[in-house]
């Protein structure tokens, strides 16, 4: 099944943020196509929770833009699926990565990639703006500018990587995962996510956008939520948020 009529690639040498560009230009893009916007460098790269995404030359900065009917049930899983697609590509290239729920990617407990998933109303449809940043060719000195433990593919493998080849593999893998998500929902990914889950069995704190919840990181639900064991002995399922290892 061809989900999209076509895939259009748009590249900028330098831009504020590929997600910003997609949102600003969404109404001009073909709603039947997947548009992949990339930049060599971003001056105002954005992360989740209004954080900055440091974006010098050498890394992959990409936004996948497409539209969906407004009523789809799997909207909140799209970022997870892109992160999963990225982990599959990393695995093909011999990197063992983990998912820090919901969609951060860690290698050796350090962040190598993150996904910023945004939406906007577009007539009777929803515009999906899925941004991913992967630290690819970033040296140890530049990685120190990131406000959390971070790593890059070049640092880990001691060689530099072809960004175009990585992007093509990522888009290909995302399309395969997206097709499964559309047909069957998140459930087919649950077991792999569970295997890849970072901090399993560890005490974590999670900010769910309004309050902090503490507990033991336990499992991924078939909807993609995070089940944690609370001090009371009850389980709680988080549907959104940002976890921290406490």
Q: Which residues bind ligand BTN (CB under 6 A)?
A: 17-19, 42, 45-48, 51, 53, 61-63, 104, 114-116, 131-133
C-beta of 183: minimal distance to ligand BTN in Å? 27
DSSP 206-244: EE-SS-EEEEEEEEE-TTS-EEEE-TTS-EEEESS-EEE
Whose Cβ is closer to ligand BTN: residue 63's or residue 77's? Answer: 63
What minimum distance in Å lies between the beta carbon of 17 and ligand BTN? 3
CA 177 and chain centroid, separation:
13
Provide, rounded to whole angstroms, the least separation between the CB of residue 36 and ligand BTN: 11
Tokens 């997600």 locate to: 19
Nearer to ligand BTN, 48 or 218 (CB): 48
Please give the residue whose beta carbon sits closest to ligand BTN in the complex: 114
Instruction: Please say which residue, 130 or 217, places its beta carbon nearer to ligand BTN.
Output: 130
Nearer to ligand BTN, 58 or 131 (CB): 131
Burial class (CB in 10 A: 0-12, 13-18, 19+), 203: middle
Distance of closest approach, residue 76 Cβ to ligand BTN, in angstroms: 15
Cβ–Cβ contacts within 10 Å for residue 231, how many?
Answer: 9
Query: Of 131 and 215, which CB lies nearer to ligand BTN in the complex structure?
Result: 131
- Taking alpha carbons only, the member of 66, 71, 63, 57 closest to residue 124 is 71
Task: Decide: 136 and 166 in contact? Cβ < 8 Å.
Answer: yes
State phi, psi for 190 to the nearest 5 degrees: -55, -50
- Nearest approach, Cβ of residue 27 and ligand BTN (Å): 19
Q: Can you read off the two tokens belonging to residue 192?
A: 């792999």
């Amino acid at each position: 099944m061809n989900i999209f009529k076509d895939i259009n690639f748009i590249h900028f040498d330098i831009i504020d943020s590929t997600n910003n560009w997609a949102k600003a230009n969404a109404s001009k893009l073909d709603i039947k196509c997947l548009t992949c916007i990339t930049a060599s460098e971003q001056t105002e790269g954005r992360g989740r929770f209004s954080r900055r995404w440091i974006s010098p030359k050498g890394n992959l900065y990409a936004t996948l833009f497409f539209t969906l009917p407004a009523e789809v049930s799997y909207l909140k899983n799209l970022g997870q699926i892109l992160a999963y697609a990225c982990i599959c590509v990393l695995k093909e290239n011999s990197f063992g990565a983990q998912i820090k729920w919901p969609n951060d990617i860690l290698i050796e407990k350090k962040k190598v990639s993150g996904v910023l998933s945004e939406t906007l109303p577009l007539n009777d449809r929803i515009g999906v703006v899925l941004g991913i940043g992967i630290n690819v060719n970033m040296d140890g000195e530049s990685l120190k500018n990131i406000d959390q433990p971070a790593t890059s593919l070049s640092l880990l493998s001691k060689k530099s990587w072809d960004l175009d080849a990585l992007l093509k593999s990522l888009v290909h893998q995302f399309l395969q995962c997206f097709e499964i998500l559309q047909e069957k929902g998140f459930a087919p990914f649950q077991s792999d996510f569970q295997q890849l889950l970072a901090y399993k069995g560890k005490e974590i704190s999670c900010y769910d956008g309004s309050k902090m919840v503490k507990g033991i990181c336990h499992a991924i639900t078939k909807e993609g939520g995070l089940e944690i064991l609370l001090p009371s002995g009850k389980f709680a399922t988080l549907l959104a948020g940002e976890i921290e290892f406490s």
